[in-house]
Amino acid sequence: MSEQQDFTKKKLWGGRFTGQTDPIMHRYNESLSYDKRMWSQDIRGSQAYARALVGCKILTEEEKDEIVSGLEKVGQEWSQSTFQIAQDDEDIHTANERRLKELIGPVAGKLHTGRSRNDQVATDMRMWLMEEVELIQNFLVELISVMVQRARQEVDALMPGYTHLQRAQPIRWSHLLLSHATYFASDLARLRSLIPRISVLPLGSGPLAGNPFAGLDREALAKDLGFKSVGSNSMNSVSDRDFVVEFLMWFSLTAVHLSKMAEDLIIYSTAEFGFVQLSDAYSTGSSIMPQKKNPDSLELLRGKSGRVFGQMAGFMMSLKGIPSTYNKDLQEDKEPLFDAVDTAKDSLQIATGVMSTMTIFPEKMLAALTPDMLATDLADYLVRKGIPFRETHHISGSAVKMSEDKKVPLSSLSLEELKTLSPAFEADVERVWLMEESVERRDAIGGTSRRAVLEQCDRLIREIA
C-alpha cells in the first residue's frame, strides 16, 4: 500500500484503534456533508496557523511557504468544484489535511502540531459566521432603507390604526411601516452588538489546555485572521457555543418581527381590506381557483419563524447537560446555525422584495376611516375646553351611544344634540371630524403627524448608518 493510500485509511484519532468503524457509525459521525461550506475559512485558518508555527520554530519559512501554497491549491479545487471527497473524510478539517498531504507530502503532517480539531472547528465557525453576519447586516439595512423610502413617498396616505384588530384611530400608512422598521432597526443594533462576542479567537487553545509550544503569538494570529480579541481561557474557547445560541436567539426575535409584519400585510391584502396588493413576483395562484392570488411569500415568512425558534430551543437542550470541555454533542451546532443563517438571508431579501414591489390603495384606506374612530378626539376637544379627561371620556362615550341609538355616524350628531351631553360643545366641534387634522394633532415625538413621521424616517437612516 502506498503512503498516499495508507493516509486515506487513517483517521486523525486512529492510532490506538485497530478495528473497522461501523459504516453506519461513520455516517452518523461525519459532518463533511454540511460543514464543507466552511472550506475557505478552514484553509485560511490553517494558513495563518502555519505562519504562526514559524515563530514556534516548528516550521521553517520554506515549509510554511510549501504548506500555504498547498492549501491555496486545495482551496482552488473547492472553488472550482473539483475537490474529490475520500471515503474516510469525516469533516472539512480532515478532508483538507488529507488532500494537503497528497499534494505536498509528509510536511503536511506538521500543520496539526499543537492544534486540535477542537480549537480548529471553533475558529472556522466563528470566521464563517462573522462573514455571514456582515451579509445579513447589509440585507437588514437594505430592508429598512426600502421601508423608509416608501414611508417618505407615501406619507400622505391615511388609514385606520388597529388595536385588538378593531378600528381604533386614524394614522398615516407610513406610521405603520415605520413601526415595523423600528423593530428591524433594533434587530440591527442587537446584531451589531453580537459581533464582538463572535469575533473571539479560539485558535491556539489546543484540545483544552492551551498550546504547548513557546513562541505561538495568538494576538498575531487574531490580527492575521481578523478577530477582534483572543479567547482568554482555553477550556472555554474550545467548548463555547454561546455565539451560536446568541445568533439563533437573535434571528428567532428578528423572525418574529418579520412574521408580525407579514401578518399585517396578509390581512391588509385580503379582499375584505384591500389596502395593499403584492406583486406577482411574490405571490402564487391556486391549483383549482383561478381567481386566487395568494401571499405565499408573507405566509412563508410567518411560518419560518416557528422553525427558527425550534432550532434555537433544540440546540439549547443539546448544550445544557454537556460537561467541560469539548464533547461530540457540539457537532449539533452546525446544522441549526447554517440553516438559520440561510433562512435569515433569504427572509430579509424576500421581505425587501415584497416591500419594494407592493402596491397600496390609499383610496381604500381612506374609505375605511369612520367617524367613530374620532371618539377620542371628541374627548380631547372637551379637554381643551378645560374639562378633565376622565369626564370627557364619559361624555364622548355617551355621544357614541347616542349615535348608535340613532343609527347615524358620530359626526352626524347635531350641535344641539351634543350640547345635551355637555354645554362646552361649540360650533368649532365640526373640525373634530377632519381626519387629516386628527392625524396632524399627534405631533409629539413618535406621533403620526406628517412632521413626526418624516422625523422618524431621518432618525432611522441615522441609526442604520
Active site residues: 164, 286
CA separation for the pair 158, 170 (Å, rounded): 7
CB 410 within 8 A of CB 378: yes
Residue 69 has which C-alpha cell?
501554497
Q: State whether residue 295 is helix, strand or coil.
A: coil
3-state DSSP assignment of residue 401: helix
For residues 156 and 289, what is the distance between their CA atoms, to the nearest angstrom?
Answer: 36
User: Is 395 in contact with 421 (CB distance < 8 Å)?
Assistant: yes
3-state secondary structure 153-192: HCCCCEEEEEECCEEEEEEEHHHHHHHHHHHHHHHHHHHH
The amino acid that residue 136 corresponds to is: I
Angle at 59 between CA 56 and CA 60, to 5 degrees: 110
Query: CA 334: distance to chain centroid?
Result: 17
Cα–Cα distances (Å) from 384 to 22, 274, 318, 401, in that order, read: 83, 36, 60, 22
User: For residues 441 and 444, what is the distance between their CA atoms, to the nearest angstrom?
Assistant: 8
Nearest alpha carbon to residue 203 among 50, 305, 18 = 50
- Phi, psi dihedrals of residue 242, rounded to the nearest 5°: -60, -35
Distances (CA, A) of 354 to 158, 266, 277, 292: 21, 11, 10, 18
Dist. CA 136–CA 134, nearest whole Å: 5
Q: Is there a contact between 263 and 257 (Cβ–Cβ < 8 Å)?
A: no
Q: Which three cell numbers stand for residue 135?
A: 451579509
Instruction: Using alpha carbons, select from 176, 169, 115 the residue that is nearest to residue 453.
Output: 176
